[in-house]
Amino acid sequence: MTTPNHLAGGLVFTGIIASLFSVNIFSEPSYLLIIGVGSLLPDIDTPKSIIGKAVYPISKLISRKYAHRTITHSLLFLIAVTVVFHYINKFYIHLPLGSTILFFSVFSHFVLDMITVQGIPFFYPFIKNPCVIPGKVEFRLTTGNLRQEGIAFFMFTLLLFTMQDLFAQGFWAKYNSSFNDTEHLAREFNASTKQLAVKFHYQVYQEHFKGLGLVVYANSNECIILHNKTLHKVKNGTHGQVILKLKAAKLKTDRKVNRVNFVAISLDSLNRLLHYNFINEAHITANQKVDLITANEVKNGFFFNVANEYNPKFISSIKDSLSNNSGTDKLRLIQEIEIEENQIKTENQEYYKMVKQLSLAEKKIKSNPDEYTEDALRSEIIRLKTSIKGFNLKTVSSSLLKLKSKLKEQSKAKPKDNLSFSGEVVYFLVPQKFNYL
């Protein structure tokens, strides 16, 4: 094989192996440098090679003593180079999996030379017979044959472009994403330190739920997905539920767990801590009876254990309110306001979608596209502008303003004096945007 094919083939071969360890060789320039050197290193035994010219005295010495494709194309050389680099990396470079990447980049050179007519004496100097793949000579390549080398280079280059997602996500992530079940999703969630996005689609009787969300919790039987500030719980064995799609992809951001301990903090301070965060686990004690509002229920008491909840809220106890059920009225107002706001958002969803499409189309037309594409974009822009202009955009209604005004008045009523909370909250921040690897 010639130098271009050793480089391209080395990247493909090593990239696939590295993906088994969830390492993207394109994420770190040092990995590419190691692969570049490693995939050419065995040709140090000839002064005619690129790497041989770089270290001419050494390559000339090896060439005179051993000749081409002998000692530097052997298992002995592979082990020696890997061991030496391992200690250099351990004490000076500190690059994770650096030695593994070097090993397979050098090994890629051996594999590519094995598929040539000449082959290599892989077990030299103990066994000098050449190792070849495949056994029949007519199926092997001839080094320097422009047609064969060109086809091989084209195939390696094509694989480099088509396998970028595999390199970025890792082999096991792609493997697990090919299954539509919670077990494989949980494997990837627990194996990776990265945030995990998921395209989901499940059905509960006749109602469908789908979208792009963030996996916030997963085990072999259940996964919890956060989508548009709503938790979707997909659980095996749920009556009437059918999982149609669970396709995950890693994000660039790490999944970092924050742990906060607090003593005697106020109601507002606690709610700010919980606001729009996914709570993995929390143990909270109040010095007076309070109410905890979660997505599914309202709990009353002094001590609370919270697990796998998004955006829970504490309010002064409804049961212990001093006059005319003011706590109940406040809870009712909060729920009515959320219903109104969600309804407005739902009814305006198509409008915001068209605005986004218009913005994208205007950006594309500024990039000087070809004449056909430009005509299509102009037609699309006209259509979108007409649709946006004629859209009946739902604004904040007078009823919603009244509800917010009533809630503001209710909030002026002071809770019992000296209400405070102590405990511990474990949570991780939810990313605002999905930036994929």
Q: Enter the DSSP assignment of 81.
A: H
Under a CB-based contact definition with an 8 Å cutoff, are residues 222 and 307 in contact?
no
Q: Which of 131, 147, 169 is the last residue of a domain?
A: 169
- The one-digit pLDDT tens for each residue of the chain (437 residues) are 788 999 999 999 999 998 888 788 888 889 999 999 999 999 898 888 888 888 888 888 888 888 888 889 999 999 999 999 999 988 888 888 889 999 999 999 999 999 998 889 989 888 888 898 888 888 888 888 889 889 999 999 999 988 888 888 888 777 777 787 888 888 888 888 888 889 999 988 888 999 998 998 888 888 999 888 888 988 888 888 888 888 888 888 888 888 999 999 999 999 999 988 899 999 999 999 999 998 888 899 999 999 989 889 999 875 554 444 555 666 777 777 888 778 888 888 888 888 888 888 888 888 878 888 888 888 888 888 888 888 887 777 777 777 777 777 766 655 555 889 999 999 887 776 766 65
Q: Is there a single domain that holds both residue 216 and residue 153?
A: no
Burial class of residue 372 in the structure, from the number of CB atoms within 10 Å of its CB (0-12 exposed, 13-18 middle, 19+ buried)? exposed
- Per-residue confidence (pLDDT) for residue 402, from 0 to 100: 77
- How many whole angstroms separate alpha carbon 277 and alpha carbon 257? 11
Q: Enter the DSSP assignment of 236.
A: T
Q: Is there a single domain that holds both residue 40 and residue 116?
A: yes
Q: Is there a single domain that holds both residue 25 and residue 156?
A: yes
pTM above 0.75, yes or no: no
Q: Classify residue 348: in a domain, yes or no.
A: yes
CA dihedral (90, 95, 96, 99) positive or negative: negative
User: What are the residues whose beta carbons fall under 8 Å from the beta carbon of 202, sequence distance 6 or more?
Assistant: 208, 209, 210, 232, 234, 241, 242, 243, 244, 245
Q: Is there a single domain that holds both residue 62 and residue 156?
A: yes
Burial class of residue 216 in the structure, from the number of CB atoms within 10 Å of its CB (0-12 exposed, 13-18 middle, 19+ buried)? buried
Q: Which of 196, 227, 254 is the last residue of a domain?
A: 254
Q: Classify residue 129: in a domain, yes or no.
A: yes
- How many whole angstroms separate alpha carbon 121 and alpha carbon 191? 40
Largest distance between two CA atoms of the chain? 101
Q: Is there a single domain that holds both residue 217 and residue 131?
A: no
- Per-residue confidence (pLDDT) for residue 414, from 0 to 100: 53
CA 335 to the chain's CA centroid: 34
Q: Classify residue 331: in a domain, yes or no.
A: no
Q: Is there a single domain that holds both residue 235 and residue 292?
A: no
**What count of other Cβ atoms lies within 10 Å of the Cβ of residue 50?**
11
- How many whole angstroms separate alpha carbon 238 and alpha carbon 252? 32
Which of 388, 392, 423 lies closest to 312 in space, CA to CA? 423
Containing H/E element for 96? none
Q: Is there a single domain that holds both residue 307 and residue 243?
A: no
How would DSSP label each residue in 277-321? Answer: -EEEEEEEEEEEEEEEE-SS-EEEEEEEEEEEEES-EEEE-STT-
Q: Classify residue 325: in a domain, yes or no.
A: no
Which domain covers residue 351, as residue numbers? 338-410
CA 24 to the chain's CA centroid: 12
Overall domain count for the chain: 4
Under a CB-based contact definition with an 8 Å cutoff, are residues 217 and 280 in contact?
yes
Query: What backbone phi and psi angles, to 5 degrees, belong to 181?
Result: -145, 165
Burial class of residue 64 in the structure, from the number of CB atoms within 10 Å of its CB (0-12 exposed, 13-18 middle, 19+ buried)? exposed
Q: Is there a single domain that holds both residue 283 and residue 238?
A: no
Q: Is there a single domain that holds both residue 11 and residue 134?
A: yes
- How many whole angstroms separate alpha carbon 424 and alpha carbon 280? 11
Q: Is there a single domain that holds both residue 132 and residue 195?
A: no
Q: Classify residue 330: in a domain, yes or no.
A: no
Q: Is there a single domain that holds both residue 245 and residue 115?
A: no
Q: Classify residue 25: in a domain, yes or no.
A: yes
Q: Enter the DSSP assignment of 221.
A: S
Angle ∠(83,89,92) on CA atoms, nearest 5: 135
Q: Classify residue 286: in a domain, yes or no.
A: yes
Instruction: Bin 263: left if φ > 0, else alpha if -120 < ψ < 50, else beta.
Output: beta
78-103 residues labelled b (16+ CB within 10 A) or e (exposed): beebbeebeeebeeeeebebbbbbbb
Q: Is there a single domain that holds both residue 28 and residue 161?
A: yes
Q: Classify residue 91: in a domain, yes or no.
A: yes
Which of 93, 96, 94 lies closest to 23 in space, CA to CA? 96
Q: Which of 169, 200, 230 is the last residue of a domain?
A: 169
